[in-house]
């Protein structure tokens, strides 16, 4: 929704004042894009062994967009065309307003987390319905000529269309692995995992338990909800680390909401980190849990995946405990892994490839 704190949160996440945040609805018109480095203390440990010219942490890109209102699909507010800016993202962070803050305008006049969540999700579903209808149109001709792939695609699109029309999100369908993979190319917003950021007041941060926030949103226990106060986070960034620690202790929490949000995102997306370590750079890369060695190689370069031969792999613990690649190799801890190897969090890897 407009004016709920999206740009305020974006600014603290990206440690910038890049997005204009102000007390009026539709403050954001064009999307703001920002890159955030993922903090990982293992990078320093690896660098202490390898002494690289530079260290490159993993990065997450955030896109801050305008707010959706009821009827956006029919052109209300800023409409919904700006959703094109997030069709390719891996996950959505839905900021829902919990704080009352009398002078901050709420477009519906009152604060109601469940109503707002449903309004936005309905608009996302309506936007997906348009996408799906377009694809169905494109598919039909080819399916009629007997194209097997298109027949399957068409059946899946029609199933999704029915679900969306019935008020269900695409993510709510029972998915087979094959269908889920096929559906990724439809770039549906309602198939993306969602993290709900409950934007609470300083007071609510102390008094509202997570469970209550989930209930207020009308969500089940398994939903990913992060309680965060964009205002508090904004204030925190003005403080020294020591002052911030005292401030957090007074609030009765140990970590900032940003850290909780990042942890939520990693959990939700099922991400793991693997490393490359050489004299040029020590670098962290992100892939999904369960990724094969070629898939991880493809994160670095598509050629690495296409021409994948093997992955020289050392577990992070071995690498650090033994003091680097040569010593790990001498101790028999360097493994030559093939294309079926499932990458483990912290693996230090060198890919052999040929294209
Ligand atoms: N009291 C209070 N005010 C907040 C909080 N978060 C944001 N605000 C205020 O709410 C107003 C809107 O914040 P923005 O970050 O611009 O909201 P937005 O969701 O990006 O709004 P649009 O771009 O218009 O969709 C600003 O005046 C913020 O200072 C909060 O946690 N508590
Ligand atoms: Mg904004």
| pLDDT, tens only, 35-78 | 888 878 899 999 999 999 999 998 888 899 989 888 888 888 88
| pLDDT, tens only, 13-40 | 888 777 888 878 888 888 888 888 887 8
| pLDDT, tens only, 302-311 | 999 999 999 9
324 within a domain of the structure (yes/no): yes
Mutate to test the pocket of ligand 1, among 1, 2, 7, 8 (most ligand atoms within 8 A of CB): 8
148 within a domain of the structure (yes/no): no
Answer whether 0.85 is exceeded by the pTM: no
Mean of pLDDT values over 273-290? 95
Mutate to test the pocket of ligand 1, among 21, 30, 208 (most ligand atoms within 8 A of CB): 21
| pLDDT, tens only, 90-136 | 899 999 999 987 777 787 778 899 999 999 999 999 999 999 999 99
The pair phi, psi for residue 323, each rounded to 5°, is 90, 40
102 within a domain of the structure (yes/no): no
296 CA from centroid of ligand 2 (Å): 35
Cβ contact 311:349 at 8 Å: yes
Cβ contact 343:272 at 8 Å: yes
202 within a domain of the structure (yes/no): no
pLDDT of residue 307: 96
346 within a domain of the structure (yes/no): yes
| pLDDT, tens only, 9-18 | 999 888 877 7
178 within a domain of the structure (yes/no): no
pLDDT of residue 34: 87
pLDDT of residue 5: 93
223 within a domain of the structure (yes/no): no
The pLDDT > 90 percentage for the chain reads: 63
- Is the model more confident about 236 or about 341? 341
23 CA from centroid of ligand 1 (Å): 6
Atom index in ligand 1 nearest the CA of residue 8 equals: 15
Cβ–ligand 1 contact at 190 (below 6 Å) = no
5 CA from centroid of ligand 2 (Å): 7
304 within a domain of the structure (yes/no): yes
Q: What is the CATH number of the domain that holds 291?
A: 3.10.20.30
Give the C-alpha distances (Å, rounded to integers) separating 117 from 36, 179, 277. 26, 27, 44
Segments forming the whole domain that contains residue 298: 272-353
What is the number of domains present in the chain?
1
Cβ–ligand 1 contact at 11 (below 6 Å) = no
What do you get for the CA distance between the two ends of the chain, in Å? Answer: 48
* Whether residue 7 has pLDDT greater than 90: yes
3-class DSSP assignment, residue 82: helix
């Amino acid at each position: 929704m407009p004016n709920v704190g999206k740009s305020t949160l974006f600014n603290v996440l990206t440690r910038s004042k890049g997005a204009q945040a102000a007390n009026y609805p539709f403050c954001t018109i064009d999307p703001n894009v920002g890159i955030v480095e993922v903090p990982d203390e293992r990078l320093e440990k690896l660098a202490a062994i390898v002494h690289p010219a530079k260290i490159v942490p993993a990065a997450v890109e955030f896109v801050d967009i305008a707010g959706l209102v009821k009827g956006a699909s029919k052109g209300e507010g800023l409409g919904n065309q700006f959703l094109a800016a997030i069709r390719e993202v891996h996950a959505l962070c839905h900021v829902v307003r919990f704080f009352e803050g009398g002078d901050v305008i709420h477009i519906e006049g009152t604060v109601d987390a469940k109503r707002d969540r449903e309004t936005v999700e309905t608009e996302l579903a309506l936007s997906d319905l348009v996408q799906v209808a377009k694809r169905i149109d494109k598919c039909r001709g080819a399916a009629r000529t007997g194209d097997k792939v298109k027949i399957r695609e068409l059946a899946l699109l029609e199933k999704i269309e029915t679900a969306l029309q019935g008020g269900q999100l695409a993510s709510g369908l029972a998915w087979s692995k094959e269908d889920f993979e096929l559906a990724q190319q439809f770039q549906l917003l309602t198939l993306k995992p969602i993290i709900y950021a409950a934007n609470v007041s300083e007071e609510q941060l102390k008094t509202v338990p997570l469970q209550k926030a989930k209930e207020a949103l009308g969500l089940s226990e398994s939903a990913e909800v992060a309680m965060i106060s964009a205002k508090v986070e904004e204030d925190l960034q003005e403080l020294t680390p020591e002052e911030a620690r005292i401030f957090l202790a007074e609030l009765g929490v140990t970590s900032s909401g940003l850290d909780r949000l990042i942890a939520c995102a990693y959990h939700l997306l099922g991400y793991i980190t693997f490393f490359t370590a050489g004299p040029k750079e020590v670098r962290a890369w992100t892939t999904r849990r369960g990724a094969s060695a070629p898939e991880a190689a493809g994160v670095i370069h598509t050629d690495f995946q296409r021409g994948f031969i093997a992955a020289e792999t050392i577990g992070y613990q071995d690498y650090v405990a033994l003091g680097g690649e040569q010593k790990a190799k001498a101790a028999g801890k360097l493994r030559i892994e093939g294309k079926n190897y499932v990458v483990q969090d912290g693996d230090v890897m060198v890919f052999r490839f040929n294209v």
